[in-house]
Structure 1
Amino acid sequence: MARIVIADDDADIRELVVFKLRHAGHEVLPVADGSAAVEACLADKPDLVILDVMMPGMSGLDAARALRDNPAMSGVPIIMLTARAQESDVEQGFDAGADDYVVKPFSPRELASRVAAVLGEDS
């Protein structure tokens, strides 16, 4: 299956996502902020990145832009997983380079389906 980096400053959300994605057979690397996500991605290119928008230090939007600006990471899909649900927030996520946008609270089953869809897998 896929190697996935998940960045969220909320440990409970990280643990839930890690549990669900590992249960689906993925290798998951959880980190707590955007800069750690960028570092993890550049150290060992993942198949997918899941980013919270609002994190201390580097936001998920800034992390997405940094990843999109790196030629080695340009084709790696990014899913934003965030409580920011306004139309302008969604637009900012896509403008930063997101391939999908999931609003919290979210269904772990729906997230797993969206991960499969972005990765081009049968769910």
Structure 2
Amino acid sequence: MASEQNGLPQRVMYVEDDPDIRAIAEIALQDVGGFTAALCESGARALEVAPGFDPELVLLDVMMPGMDGPSTMRALRQLPGLETVPVIFMTARLQRSEIQEYQALGAVGVIPKPFDPMTLSEQIAEILTRARTCL
């Protein structure tokens, strides 16, 4: 699914503290979606990995110990070259006010958890397409 022809990113960084969800996401992103994925167990680890991985998209769990998703996003935005990388939050908390808060932070979208590993890459494509048409 991921290819430069369709405008989808190649390198996706997924930040999730739950190892089971990370394992499912790895399959969903790499095997099903065709992305090159870096999986990080914390916001702090994402800050270490991001400069060398140079993600074209960041998927962020909202609720994590230590640095939560919004804090991680703000910290990533401070790194050179990551100021404008699209961020999609992934969360089970889908209150309208929370979604608006994530979008106000600069996220391009929110994917509900639990996510379907077979359609995750399609959800990403839809969000990125919608974000591009709103610019």
- Give the TM-score normalised by structure 2: 0.79
Alignment of 1:7-46 (within 5 A): 7-23=15-31, 24-46=33-55
Deviations 1:27-74 (A, max 9, x none): 111111112112211233111111000001111111112223445212
Aligned to 2:12: 4
Gaps of 5+ in 2: 4-9, 130-135
Moved over 6 A (4+): none
Once the two structures are overlaid, the 10-residue window that deviates more, 21-30 or 106-115, is 106-115
Equivalenced residues, count: 120
SS in 2 for 1:108: coil
SS in 1 for 2:76: helix
SS in 1 for 2:75: helix
Aligned to 2:7: none
Q: CA RMSD in A?
A: 1.8
Larger Rg: 2
Letter in 2 for 1:3: R
Give the direction of change, closer, same or farther, for the CA distance of 1:96–1:38 in structure 2 (3 Å limit).
farther
Taking only the aligned residue pairs, the percentage that are identical comes to: 38
Alpha-carbon separation, structure 1, partners of 2:60 and 2:17? 10
Letter in 2 for 1:77: P
- Give the TM-score normalised by structure 1: 0.86
